[in-house]
Chains A and B, each alone.
Chain A
Amino acid sequence: MRLKAPIVLLCVLVLTGGAWALIRSRISATALAGSAKDQPKPHQAVPPHHGTPVELGDEQFTIELVREPASGTLRAYVLDGEMEGFVRIAARQLNLEVETQGGRKLLALKPVADLATGETVGDTSLFEARADWLKAADRFKGVFRNLRIHDQDFPAVAFGFPEGNAKD
């Protein structure tokens, strides 16, 4: 009778320990899986080049504008609505009307080919234009005219620079 107690306790000890070990490893596995897979991917609302986002339509596409003051260059990257992917288009140019303190100006942003990305004129997401007045134009109002991206037309898209045209 007296021998029974330690044997039972031994069994309880082993079983408890085993259960604890399994629970411990399950908790770790669950925590790991939770951190790696189950967590929702945060929505990327930041333009890839930290430029000015111009939404087209109901967030169907976005044009990110990046001004390089030193060279007077304005670059326009065509992105999807989530600003996660680059959208290559065949456009010959992007027409932009700009209203600055110096008056109204027209910019024709031309397609840019890039060996690094594999983009070519006629299949690119990058357009750019250069003008001396852009070197000092840190604020302006603009309107993209007659944009056509993947069979969708955007006759006039107005925005302010550098804030963009986001509604919220």
Chain B
Amino acid sequence: MLFLLIRRGLRQHLVSTAVAVLLVALGMGLVVSVWVVRAEAEQSFTRSASGFDAVLGARGSKLQLVLNGLFHQEASPGNITAEDYLQVKALPMVDRAIPIVVGDNFRGVRLVGVSDDFFQNLEYAPDHVYTVEPGGRPFQVEQKEAVVGSLAAHQLGWSIGTTFHPFHGLDYNPDAQHSEIFTVVGLLAPTNTPADRVIWVPLEGVQKLGGHDPAAFTDLSAVLIRFKPGAKAAGLMLDTRYNRQGKRLTLAWPVASILGDLFAKFSWFEQALQALAYMVAVVAGASVFSSVYSSMSARKRDLAILRALGAHRGFLIAAVLGESAGIGLLGCALGFGLYAVIAATVQEILRTRIGVLFEPWAWNPVMVWGPLLMLGLSVGAGVLPAWRAYRLSVAEGLSPLS
């Protein structure tokens, strides 16, 4: 009986109910999106550090080194020498040191020169190593060969055997084509890291391209470093040596902290979105109030009849509050759908543009308190109409309308 009454109330004013549900959904979707996207994006970036602890590069910004070396964004702050690489590689606390060279592209997709160590049991995540898809093989040093990341291969429509002329620079310029021809010999198995977005070639392949300065043939853009397990003080020791004592090179370490600083720079934007989400939530509450109040006013006569037939006042309160809770529940369900759409969009953008895997359904407390907040607002908005229903006089409700 109560359920039927609630359903009838919701259907009787379908338009205002729908608007209220949509606003609750919007509020819910926004609240969950703002909190989850912020937290999960930072987590995703940190996870995508490809298993490296630090990046060594020319003197400059640590953030630029991390973005350039690990995320294949931005330009390199400068070059370092092969001796710098050999020196850091020889340090006892260093497990793996992978040199990279950037500076060329193919139609905007970055070419990254890397040593063949890259394909030798290098873990990008625990128990996951970089591998080439069956049918292909890693490139050979000194050869004009390439292994293409899975996203890059999809974007360019390349397969094994494809040949291409690289272009000079990180940005595509049709007039800056190199004469050398590279052949794709392998496709990198998907890693869900930025490694999927680039074309991997031998170090020498990039260093010795026509037009590059012969004096800088052995120069490197950066060295990606992984410390030995248990060498906890290694980062601190090298940080002191390179960053505080030294003036030539920069060690970007720890990567998670540097990425945290990047997100902190945009915290003002996050604050603005949070305020907007709260405002929408409040407006949604007001809309629920308006819908339930008008519904209750229009059904005053029905409620008076119910009272005359013996319905308890508590029953009327439950009917009104149930109506506002119904709007809240429908809005929350729709809100999760809206969040799914927003999250899928963010996921696709991060995957294709940065190569970062975003997990929208990873646990976040807002998944609980977001719906509770919207449900609480909805039920709270029904309190005054419920109070009016409670105080409804049967005589007044049954009095002639004209």
**Chain A residues packing against B (C-beta within 8 Å):** 6, 9-10, 13-14, 17-18, 20-22, 24-25, 28-29, 32, 36, 48-49, 77, 84-86, 114-119, 125-126
- Set A13, A28, A119, A125: member contacting B286, Cβ < 8 A: A13
| List of A residues within 8 angstroms of B283 by Cβ | 14, 17
Question: Which listed residue, B244, B278, B381, touches A13 by the CB 8 Å rule?
Answer: B381
B268-280 vs A, CB cutoff 8 Å, 1 = contact: the mask equals 1001101100110
Residues of A within 8 A of B282 (CB): 13-14, 17-18, 20-21
Query: Could you show 24 A-B contacts with beta carbons less than 8 Å apart?
Result: A13-B282, A13-B285, A13-B381, A17-B281, A18-B282, A20-B278, A21-B278, A24-B278, A25-B275, A28-B271, A32-B267, A84-B244, A114-B245, A116-B84, A116-B241, A116-B246, A116-B248, A117-B242, A117-B246, A117-B248, A118-B248, A119-B245, A125-B245, A126-B245
- Minimum CB–CB distance from A156 to chain B (whole Å) comes to 27
Q: Which residues of B contact A20 (CB under 8 A)?
A: 278, 282
B35 nearest CB across to chain A (Å): 12
Residues of A within 8 Å of B247, CB to CB, are: 117-118
The answer to the question of B293 belonging to the interface, with a C-beta cut-off of 8 Å to chain A, is yes
B290 interface residue (CB < 8 Å to A): yes
A36 to B271 CA separation, bound complex (whole angstroms)? 15
B290: chain A residues at CB < 8 Å are 10
Q: How far is the CB of A142 from chain B (nearest CB, A)?
A: 23
Interface: B399 (CB within 8 A)? no
Q: Given the complex of chains A and B, what is the CA–CA distance between A21 and B264 in angstroms?
A: 21
Q: What's the minimum C-beta distance from A76 to chain B, rounded to whole angstroms?
A: 13
The chain B residue with its CB closest to the CB of A11 is B286
**B174: shortest Cβ distance to chain A, in Å?**
40
**Closest chain B residue to A117 by CB distance?**
B246
- The answer to whether the Cβ of B106 comes within 8 Å of any Cβ in the partner chain is no
**Chain B, Cβ-Cβ closest to A24:** B278
In the complex, what distance in Å separates the CA atom of A14 from the CA atom of B282? 6
Report how far A125 CA is from B268 CA in the complex, Å.
41
Question: Nearest residue in B to A21 (C-beta to C-beta)?
Answer: B278
- Complex alpha-carbon distance, A84 and B281, angstroms: 49
Q: Which residues of B contact A24 (CB under 8 A)?
A: 274-275, 278
- Chain B residues with CB under 8 A of A48: 240, 244-245
Collect the chain A residues with CB atoms within 8 Å of residue B83's CB: 115
Complex partner residue of A10 from B237, B240, B268, B286, CB under 8 angstroms: B286
The answer to the question of B289 belonging to the interface, with a C-beta cut-off of 8 Å to chain A, is: yes
Q: Is B402 an interface residue (CB 8 A)?
A: no
Contacts of B289 in A (CB 8 A): 6, 9-10, 13
Asked if B249 lies at the interface with its beta carbon under 8 angstroms from chain A, I say: yes
Q: Which residue among A10, A18, A22, A114 has the maximum number of chain B CB atoms within 10 Å of its CB?
A: A10
Question: Given contacts A10-B290, A117-B246, A117-B248, could you give 11 more A-B pairs where the C-beta distance is less than 8 Å?
Answer: A25-B274, A28-B271, A48-B245, A114-B241, A115-B83, A115-B84, A116-B84, A116-B88, A116-B249, A118-B246, A126-B245
